[in-house]
Amino acid sequence: MLERFRGLMGRLLTPPARLLIKLGVGPDLITWVGTVALVAVALVMVPLGLLWQAALVLGVISFTDMLDGQVARLSGRTSRWGAFLDSSLDRVADGAVFTGVIIWFALGGRPVWAGVAAAALVLGQVTSYVKARAESQGWQVTGGLAARADRLVIAYLGLLLQGIGVPYALAVAVTVLALAGVITVGQRLRQVRRQADAEEASEVDQ
């Protein structure tokens, strides 16, 4: 859903990207620093119960996920390696965010919600894997109910609202994410299945 705002975000990130280029900062360094910072915040602040603070910091750090790409484009340093690194570290970052949430639920004596958060984590990872695996086979996967940006926004919103005292906000967030994950995986599998069936039919006709 949030993919439509990528153009706007690209324009907003152009000034800081140009500054980083002038300072000699490369896209790979931005990717690594952003991931390490996000993992540290997610695995320290969230389990400690600093939820709204973590939500704000994580939201700011997450902009580096687009900033590295903007730096790469403006500096002419886009590469398959950069895309691979970014995608791989995205999985690490997502895992850290939801692991922090799982730990917070577990420490608070809420094992059921910890389990739901774990389901949201697994389904989110599968959502990304299905897209990557399909594209490696030459199929196209687009859209879906909850892409990565949507999942992070919901998770951060849940942390923020829970942190300022809204009861069950994080529980609702992980439940929505788990359900959205099931639907999104189903949508993407259906897309791939249709393309596979079309290829098989084409081969038969030939």
Residues serving a catalytic function are 90
Closest to 114 in 3D by CA, of 42, 178, 166, 185:
178
Overall size of the chain counted in residues: 206
Helix (H, G, I), strand (E, B) or coil at 95: helix
Q: What is the DSSP string of 14-58?
A: HHHHHHHHHTT--HHHHHHHHHHHHHHHHHHTTTTT-HHHHHHHH
Token duo for residue 168: 């069950």
Q: CB–CB of 150/5 below 8 Å?
A: no
> How far is it, in rounded angstroms, from Cα 51 to Cα 165?
10
